[in-house]
A = this chain, B = another copy of it.
Amino acid sequence: MEFNWIFISAPLAAALALLFSYIFYKQIIKYPEGTEKMKEIAEAVRIGAKAYLKRQYVIVAIFFILTSLLLVFLSFVLRVQSRWTAFAFLTGGFFSALSGYLGMMAATASSARTANAAKDSLNRALRVAFRAGSIMGLVVVGLGLIDISIWFSVLHYLVKYDLRLTTVTLLSFGMGASLQALFARVGGGIFTKAADVGADLVGKIEAGIPEDDPRNPAVIADNVGDNVGDVAGMGADLYESYTGSILSSAALGASAFYASKYTLNAVILPMVIAAIGMVASIIGIFLVKSREEATQKNLLNALNRGIYGASILILIATFFAIKLLLPGNIGIFGSVITGLIVGLIIGKSTEYYTSSSYNPTKYIASQSLTGPATTILAGLSTGMISTYIPVFAVATGIIVAFWAAGGFLTPILGLYGIGIAAVGMLSTLGITLATDAYGPVADNAGGNAQMSDLPPEVRKKTDALDALGNTTAATGKGFAIGSAALTALALLAAYIEEVRGGLLRLVGNGWQFSDIVKAAGTNNTENILQWLHHATIADFMRLFAVNLMNPKVIVGIFIGAMMTFLFSGLAIKAVGKAASQMVEEVRRQFKEIKGLLQGKAKPDYATCVKISTRGAQKAMILPATSAVLAPIITGLILGVSGVMGLLIGALGSGFIMAIFMANAGGAWDNAKKFIEEGNYGGKGSDPHKAGVVGDTVGDPLKDTAGPSLNILIKLMSMVSVVVAGLVVAYHLL
């Protein structure tokens, strides 16, 4: 087996990232946690979050065991796929869970410390919170890349799979990561939003007490939710995105450069780009510092310096990496640039549509004057309209990345370019995730400050940090959504590879396919195998009639698009149900516990945590099951063309739904904050109540259903890839 020393850069960079995250953790826990009260509250949140995660992991474990039994059956009984599938699948799930867990540990360790640091200065608070975020960022990318490196080495150099088989088998690792991420996002999302909605509706609107007030029985559940949803959920989510983009590009590289002397180079290029990004992110993290008496604008500049610094480093180094690894295909560098630009455009458009500095959010706030109904209508319509810029950006990006890599001459090269564009987009993840994840830390610090009766300036500082995080998070979101679309496309191409692999396996085992005999023009098995080895994507499109007039494709598209609605509906319904139970419980406590509102009695926090937990646990099962089963059942009935329709339908509709929900939710949130700043009557006015209704409706859209859709799209693709052998062998129509 050929070996290229540059590959070593991947595990080395990953180890470096993990080392730095350990160092940062050591730095953080040296900071003092503040008063006894602060420690106590932080401890309560920490215990609640750990307890919830433990329960979630039990359900996930059961689900994983069942799924791997199915995979074992497919591998060893039906023998339609590699025998490493189940094992790779399990490790993917494990490491996805681990990165969420570690990120959450860092976050829960930092909230009280951030609040305590905010007593001194804004800059000090930023340092603690941002260090916590950096741990999350580096753990996610570090674990992701090291896992891929190890699995790649095992399959290619020990098991001696060829590169095509290696990279396609690796996608079952991706399936594990995606499935775990789906549970984390959906479960965490339901938990946090049920608590948030419940706390807000009764606390803010009915009782008129401030956010994070310790008299509110749902306040601990709310803070726990931030950690299990916004931190652990986001960590698992981005672990999935990150590994997904690398794995799908690697699979395409093996295929695009099949039987050329650059095959290995093309496979390791995405890993090398990721390694470059990791080192650049670490450097970028060190660029984030500012003077002691920093203003908010200084801090924003500091963060941006880190992100842009890392991006420039990556661009320069990536250019040389491509020149070194694929000297004949330097056009792929154009794909990388395209990916970064598309991510930036989506981020800017997210900012435009969701920040109260611009018209759309101001319009929503103004509609609150005529009540909640017009507020809701304004948010829904703004969210729907806001989809057009990201769609045009991604559409243009797809064409340009495809073209730059040479796709109009050799389509598979263009698809590889699209995959690499996604890798480029996510290469800065180490630092962009840091700027994203420190937001919830600041948020929790604010909660801690409020509950520990720290002076209001402390809360003001943590709020400033939180607001700052919202701006940088918009960019992060843009990259996550954009990369999901590109990765899903690359996975679609990888699916064809696995179909090829499946057919090779079956024909090798003596199966006969009349269509293939016809297409290959021979019924000699050796020749058919040869034909399969060299068949282009266009050949496969023809073989399975994957065209838009095939009713199986069309039906697949319908079902795929419907899946995104069904899935979102289930997630939102779960939040709504749990939230209304929470509302009733909080109302009950306010009514029945005497002296609670006067601060003379303590609320019963535990019952609220229980409601969120139960709501999340029950409601995770159905969406996850349907996401796994949809591609399998569609495949068994409609075959390859139906599956491809399904995936494209889910991608087209899911990408747009995800933007719609993220932007509508973000805009409602900021419209409410805009009112709270004193516009249209300010806090406590009728427009403010309408604004809170809007924010509440937006919560599950932007934090539960929306981000889960990105995972759903990729999970369905991964499942399709993994069971491709089954579908090729057995299908009805």
A559 touches B395 (CB 8 A): yes
Q: Which residue of chain B is the closest to A414 with respect to CB atoms? A: B551
Residues in chain B near residue A414, CB distance under 8 A: 551
A558 touches B655 (CB 8 A): yes
Chain A: interface secondary structure?
helix
**Shortest distance between the CB of A474 and any CB in chain B (Å):** 20
Q: Which of B377, B496, B562 contacts A572 (CB 8 A)?
A: B377
Q: Which residue of chain B is the closest to A692 with respect to CB atoms? A: B373
Given A565-B656, A576-B377, are A371 and B201 neighbors across the interface (CB < 8 Å)?
yes
Q: Indicate whether A137 reaches chain B with its CB closer than 8 angstroms.
A: no
Residues in chain B near residue A398, CB distance under 8 A: 551, 554-555, 558
Q: Which residue of chain B is the closest to A649 with respect to CB atoms? A: B652
Q: Indicate whether A566 reaches chain B with its CB closer than 8 angstroms.
A: yes
A561–B374 CA distance with the chains assembled, in angstroms: 25
Contact with B along A245-270 (1 / 0, CB 8 A): 00000000000000000000000000
Q: Indicate whether A660 reaches chain B with its CB closer than 8 angstroms.
A: yes
A568 touches B384 (CB 8 A): yes
Q: Indicate whether A501 reaches chain B with its CB closer than 8 angstroms.
A: no
B369 touches A372 (CB 8 A): no
A583 touches B370 (CB 8 A): yes
Q: Indicate whether A391 reaches chain B with its CB closer than 8 angstroms.
A: yes
Q: Which residue of chain B is the closest to A654 with respect to CB atoms? A: B561
Q: Which residues between 153 and 178 of chain A lie within 8 Å of chain B, taking CB atoms?
A: none
**Shortest distance between the CB of A574 and any CB in chain B (Å):** 8
**Most chain B Cβ neighbours within 10 Å, of A376, A485, A558:** A558
Given A496-B549, A538-B547, A580-B370, are A561 and B652 neighbors across the interface (CB < 8 Å)?
yes
Given A385-B569, A653-B652, are A549 and B374 neighbors across the interface (CB < 8 Å)?
no
A146–B47 CA distance with the chains assembled, in angstroms: 75
Q: Which residue of chain B is the closest to A378 with respect to CB atoms? A: B576
Given A367-B576, A376-B697, A548-B644, are A555 and B395 neighbors across the interface (CB < 8 Å)?
yes
A569–B554 CA distance with the chains assembled, in angstroms: 25
**Shortest distance between the CB of A561 and any CB in chain B (Å):** 4
A385 touches B566 (CB 8 A): yes
Given A548-B644, A572-B384, are A653 and B561 neighbors across the interface (CB < 8 Å)?
yes
Q: Which of B492, B493, B541, B561 contacts A656 (CB 8 A)?
A: B561
Q: Indicate whether A271 reaches chain B with its CB closer than 8 angstroms.
A: no
Q: Indicate whether A310 reaches chain B with its CB closer than 8 angstroms.
A: no
Residues in chain B near residue A388, CB distance under 8 A: 562, 565-566
A142–B492 CA distance with the chains assembled, in angstroms: 48
Q: Indicate whether A411 reaches chain B with its CB closer than 8 angstroms.
A: yes
A700 touches B377 (CB 8 A): yes
Q: Which residue of chain B is the closest to A660 with respect to CB atoms? A: B565
Residues in chain B near residue A59, CB distance under 8 A: none
The count of identical subunits is 2
Q: Which residue of chain B is the closest to A575 with respect to CB atoms? A: B377
Contact with B along A541-584 (1 / 0, CB 8 A): 11001111111111101111110011011111101100110011
Q: Indicate whether A331 reaches chain B with its CB closer than 8 angstroms.
A: no
A648 touches B573 (CB 8 A): no
Q: Indicate whether A537 reaches chain B with its CB closer than 8 angstroms.
A: yes
Q: Indicate whether A645 reaches chain B with its CB closer than 8 angstroms.
A: yes
Q: Indicate whether A733 reaches chain B with its CB closer than 8 angstroms.
A: yes
Q: Indicate whether A507 reaches chain B with its CB closer than 8 angstroms.
A: no
Q: Indicate whether A489 reaches chain B with its CB closer than 8 angstroms.
A: yes
A548 touches B645 (CB 8 A): yes
A599–B119 CA distance with the chains assembled, in angstroms: 62
Q: Which residue of chain B is the closest to A582 with respect to CB atoms? A: B370
Q: Which residues between 210 and 246 of chain A lie within 8 Å of chain B, taking CB atoms?
A: none
Given A377-B579, A562-B656, A693-B373, are A492 and B385 neighbors across the interface (CB < 8 Å)?
no
Contact with B along A386-409 (1 / 0, CB 8 A): 111001101100110010000100
**Most chain B Cβ neighbours within 10 Å, of A383, A394, A418, A550:** A550
Contact with B along A706-733 (1 / 0, CB 8 A): 0000000000000000000000000001
A579 touches B656 (CB 8 A): no
Residues in chain B near residue A551, CB distance under 8 A: 398-399, 402, 407, 414, 418
Contact with B along A509-551 (1 / 0, CB 8 A): 0000000000000000000000000000110011001111111
Q: Which of B369, B387, B399, B549 contacts A415 (CB 8 A)?
A: B549
Q: Which residue of chain B is the closest to A205 with respect to CB atoms? A: B371
A120–B369 CA distance with the chains assembled, in angstroms: 45
Q: Indicate whether A480 reaches chain B with its CB closer than 8 angstroms.
A: no
A376 touches B693 (CB 8 A): yes
**Shortest distance between the CB of A248 and any CB in chain B (Å):** 14
**Shortest distance between the CB of A623 and any CB in chain B (Å):** 11
A373 touches B656 (CB 8 A): no
A549 touches B573 (CB 8 A): no
A201 touches B561 (CB 8 A): no
Q: Indicate whether A425 reaches chain B with its CB closer than 8 angstroms.
A: no
**Shortest distance between the CB of A558 and any CB in chain B (Å):** 5
List the 10 closest A-B pairs by CB distance, nearest first: A384-B569, A381-B573, A377-B576, A385-B569, A541-B547, A373-B696, A381-B572, A391-B562, A370-B580, A370-B583
* Extra A-B contacts (6), CB below 8 Å, given A485-B558, A542-B542: A367-B580, A489-B554, A492-B548, A493-B549, A546-B549, A557-B557
**CB<8 Å pairs between A and B, sample of 23:** A197-B374, A201-B371, A201-B374, A367-B580, A373-B692, A376-B376, A378-B573, A381-B570, A381-B572, A387-B565, A391-B561, A394-B558, A395-B558, A398-B554, A398-B555, A399-B733, A411-B549, A541-B545, A547-B547, A547-B548, A548-B553, A548-B645, A565-B656
Footprint of B on A, CB under 8 Å? 197, 201, 205, 367, 369-374, 376-378, 380-388, 391-392, 394-395, 398-399, 402, 407, 411, 414-415, 418, 485, 489, 492-493, 496, 537-538, 541-542, 545-555, 557-562, 565-566, 568-573, 575-576, 579-580, 583-584, 644-645, 648-649, 652-653, 655-656, 660, 692-693, 696-697, 700, 733
